[in-house]
Every structure is written in C-alpha cells, then in structure tokens.
A and B are shown apart, each in its own frame.
Chain A
Amino acid sequence: GAVVSQHPSRVICKSGTSVKIECRSLDFQATTMFWYRQFPKQSLMLMATSNEGSKATYEQGVEKDKFLINHASLTLSTLTVTSAHPEDSSFYICSARDELQQYFGPGTRLTVT
C-alpha cells in the first residue's frame, strides 16, 4: 500500500524557537495532504488541508501564522511551528490522499521546553 513518512519522529525544542516537520508521500503523488494534531487521550484534530501549489486551508481556531504549511511539491508538505510554546507540545500527524483514500504518516512527537 501507499506509504507516507514523517520526519523527524521526535523533536525537542526550546520556547521561542521554530521547528519544521516534513511529510512525504513515498510512492505516489499527493495533491492534497492533511495535518492533524493529537492530544493525549483525545482524538485527532484536523488542523489544515494542504494543496500543492496553493495556500493551505486552516480549520477554525488554528492560527495560520503560527502553524505555517507549505506544500511545495506533489510528494512533500511541511508544517513549521513558529515561536513554539510549551502548549504546542503534541503529536502531529500528516496524511496524504490519492483519489480514494487518505494514507497516514507515523506522526511526530513535539516537546517544547
């Protein structure tokens, strides 16, 4: 089946710094990728929908200036958490879709100290 990778799998950063998370579709081209956030014991929350070559569509309540999304190619989308705060610590998951289905990456654990 289709494979989606994320890098890094874990990252620790200091408050005020920025961190970039990559999401790649390894064996298919994805015109659309999704970014989710998961808090402990809570469901995955859709943050934004990323379309190749255009601006991302953010869900209500998600700060687009804080969570920068770039979908530069058909196989790569990046999420940059800017000026990170401890409350941004979470598990971030991306998915990439083809015509029929979403395929999920393994997630990135972000810890902001």
Chain B
Amino acid sequence: GDSVTQMEGPVTLSEEAFLTINCTYTATGYPSLFWYVQYPGEGLQLLLKATKADDKGSNKGFEATYRKETTSFHLEKGSVQVSDSAVYFCALSARRGTASKLTFGTGTRLQVTL
C-alpha cells in the first residue's frame, strides 16, 4: 500500500538557518503530494502541494519539489523564523487534491530558537 516516510525529529535550528525536512513516498500510480503544518493547539493546515512530477509547491517561503525519479518531496526553507516552530507532516493522495484519502508520514517537529 501507499506509505510516506519522514525524517525523525525534533529538528532544532537557530533563526535564519536553512531547513530541510526529508520525505519519501511509496505509491502506485501518480499521487499528489502535500506538506501540512500543525502549530501548537491547532489543526493541521495545508502548507503546500504538488500534483505532478517536477511541480514545485511553495508557500510562506517554504518549497518542495515533486521528484518522481527519487520518489521524494523534501521540504525546504532558506531562512527559518521562530514562528515556524511546529510539526510538519508529509502526505500523499492517490487523487489530485486533498479531498480524498490522505496517507501521512509520522511528522517532524521543528524547533527554531533565537
């Protein structure tokens, strides 16, 4: 079945450092890929998405590129802020859009310090 593997956290960075959170997936066909973010006490929010190979999703300075050849969708940000501290989930859907069934990774906690 479909699965998503994320790097284990927590990831602790100083403000303005470069962030990479690795995500790889296993799926049949051509899934859509997503990054969700969960701030303390809140629900998961869609951060960015990509629906086909070589697509780049971006939002709030975060980027991820759908790499079919390496089955990866790594999350990057050039300069993190304290406000980026949260848990980040990589996910996939067999269909375009998040309205259908999602398969999640385990989540990676990011802690950004001053």
Chain A residues near B (Cβ < 8 Å): 1, 4, 32, 34, 36, 41-44, 46, 49, 93, 95, 97-107
Contacts and interface: CB of A to CB of B under 8 A. Distances in A.
Contact of A43 (B46, B98, B107): B107
Contacts of A100: 97-99
B102 A46 contact: yes
B14 to A, nearest CB: 24
5 contacts: A42-B106, A43-B104, A99-B99, A102-B99, A104-B44
A110 B63 CA distance: 35
Given A43-B106, A44-B104, A101 B45 contact: no
B4 A43 contact: yes
Given A43-B4, A44-B89, A101-B97, A4 B43 contact: yes
B46 A93 contact: no
A41 B10 CA distance: 10
Contacts of A93: 43-44
A101 B102 CA distance: 11
Nearest to B3: A43
Nearest to B99: A97
B41 A43 contact: no
Contacts of A95: 43-44
Nearest to B106: A43
Contacts of A46: 101-103
Contact of B43 (A32, A49, A98, A104): A104
A41 B45 CA distance: 19
Contact of B105 (A34, A36, A43): A43
Given A44-B89, A99-B99, A104-B36, 17 more contacts: A32-B99, A43-B89, A43-B103, A43-B105, A43-B106, A43-B107, A46-B103, A93-B44, A95-B44, A97-B98, A100-B97, A101-B46, A101-B97, A103-B43, A105-B43, A106-B42, A107-B43
